Protein backbone atom coordinates (compact mmCIF):
# COMPACT_ATOMS: atom_id res chain seq x y z
CA UNK A 1 0.00 0.00 0.00
CA UNK A 2 2.96 2.31 0.61
CA UNK A 3 3.92 2.24 -3.09
CA UNK A 4 0.35 3.09 -4.09
CA UNK A 5 0.29 6.05 -1.69
CA UNK A 6 3.62 7.20 -3.08
CA UNK A 7 2.20 7.06 -6.60
CA UNK A 8 -0.93 8.96 -5.56
CA UNK A 9 1.07 11.73 -3.83
CA UNK A 10 3.76 11.92 -6.49
CA UNK A 11 5.26 15.34 -7.26
CA UNK A 12 6.29 14.97 -10.90
CA UNK A 13 8.18 18.28 -10.86
CA UNK A 14 10.99 16.76 -8.79
CA UNK A 15 11.36 13.47 -10.68
CA UNK A 16 13.53 12.90 -13.72
CA UNK A 17 12.26 11.17 -16.84
CA UNK A 18 13.62 7.78 -15.75
CA UNK A 19 11.70 7.94 -12.49
CA UNK A 20 8.57 9.00 -14.30
CA UNK A 21 8.83 6.08 -16.70
CA UNK A 22 9.19 3.70 -13.75
CA UNK A 23 6.16 5.21 -11.98
CA UNK A 24 4.17 5.05 -15.22
CA UNK A 25 4.99 1.37 -15.65
CA UNK A 26 3.88 0.74 -12.06
CA UNK A 27 0.69 2.79 -12.50
CA UNK A 28 -0.23 0.94 -15.69
CA UNK A 29 0.36 -2.44 -14.07
CA UNK A 30 -1.85 -1.49 -11.11
CA UNK A 31 -4.49 -0.25 -13.53
CA UNK A 32 -4.30 -3.54 -15.45
CA UNK A 33 -4.74 -5.56 -12.26
CA UNK A 34 -7.88 -3.63 -11.38
CA UNK A 35 -9.13 -4.45 -14.86
CA UNK A 36 -8.24 -8.14 -14.46
CA UNK A 37 -10.46 -8.28 -11.38
CA UNK A 38 -13.23 -6.27 -13.04
CA UNK A 39 -12.82 -3.67 -10.32
CA UNK A 40 -12.90 0.09 -10.67
CA UNK A 41 -9.51 1.68 -10.08
CA UNK A 42 -9.20 4.60 -7.69
CA UNK A 43 -10.44 7.81 -9.30
CA UNK A 44 -6.97 9.37 -9.24
CA UNK A 45 -5.15 6.49 -10.97
CA UNK A 46 -6.15 7.11 -14.63
CA UNK A 47 -5.50 10.82 -14.08
CA UNK A 48 -2.01 10.06 -12.78
CA UNK A 49 -1.31 7.83 -15.80
CA UNK A 50 -2.33 10.62 -18.19
CA UNK A 51 -0.29 13.17 -16.23
CA UNK A 52 2.82 10.99 -16.33
CA UNK A 53 2.39 10.27 -20.05
CA UNK A 54 2.06 13.98 -20.84
CA UNK A 55 5.05 14.94 -18.73
CA UNK A 56 7.25 12.17 -20.17
CA UNK A 57 6.37 13.26 -23.72
CA UNK A 58 7.14 16.87 -22.82
CA UNK A 59 10.49 16.01 -21.23
CA UNK A 60 11.39 13.75 -24.14
CA UNK A 61 10.62 16.55 -26.59
CA UNK A 62 12.82 18.94 -24.59
CA UNK A 63 15.67 16.40 -24.66
CA UNK A 64 15.37 16.02 -28.43
CA UNK A 65 15.20 19.80 -28.98
CA UNK A 66 18.32 20.29 -26.84
CA UNK A 67 20.15 17.61 -28.82
CA UNK A 68 19.17 19.32 -32.07
CA UNK A 69 20.48 22.67 -30.79
CA UNK A 70 23.73 21.03 -29.66
CA UNK A 71 24.25 19.41 -33.05
CA UNK A 72 23.41 22.62 -34.88
CA UNK A 73 25.94 24.48 -32.72
CA UNK A 74 28.58 21.85 -33.42
CA UNK A 75 27.85 22.08 -37.12
CA UNK A 76 28.03 25.89 -37.05
CA UNK A 77 31.39 25.71 -35.27
CA UNK A 78 32.77 23.75 -38.22
CA UNK A 79 31.76 26.39 -40.79
CA UNK A 80 34.47 28.55 -42.34
CA UNK A 81 34.72 32.12 -41.02
CA UNK A 82 33.28 33.72 -44.17
CA UNK A 83 30.22 31.43 -44.05
CA UNK A 84 29.67 32.32 -40.38
CA UNK A 85 29.79 36.02 -41.26
CA UNK A 86 27.35 35.44 -44.12
CA UNK A 87 24.93 33.68 -41.75
CA UNK A 88 25.18 36.53 -39.24
CA UNK A 89 24.52 39.06 -42.01
CA UNK A 90 21.43 37.11 -43.08
CA UNK A 91 20.15 36.97 -39.48
CA UNK A 92 20.75 40.72 -39.07
CA UNK A 93 18.90 41.47 -42.29
CA UNK A 94 15.90 39.40 -41.17
CA UNK A 95 15.80 41.14 -37.78
CA UNK A 96 16.10 44.60 -39.35
CA UNK A 97 13.30 43.76 -41.77
CA UNK A 98 11.07 42.87 -38.82
CA UNK A 99 11.63 46.37 -37.41
CA UNK A 100 10.54 48.10 -40.63
CA UNK A 101 7.03 49.55 -40.60
Residue-averaged pLDDT of the chain: 94
- Written as one string, the DSSP assignment of 5-73 is HHHHT--GGGS-HHHHHHHHHHHHHHHHHHHHTT-PPPTHHHHHHHHHHHHHHHHHHHHHHHHHHHHHH
pLDDT beyond 90 at 55:
yes
What are the tens digits of pLDDT across the range 7-38?
A: 999 999 999 999 999 999 999 999 999 999 99
User: Where are the domains positioned within the chain?
Assistant: 2-99
The predicted model gives 76-88 an average pLDDT of 91
Q: So what's the pLDDT on residue 1?
A: 79
Whole-structure pTM value = 0.75
Please give the pLDDT value at position 101: 78
Amino acid sequence: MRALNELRNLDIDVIDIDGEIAYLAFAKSVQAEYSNFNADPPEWLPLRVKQLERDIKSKRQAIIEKRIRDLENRKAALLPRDKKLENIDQDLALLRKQLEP
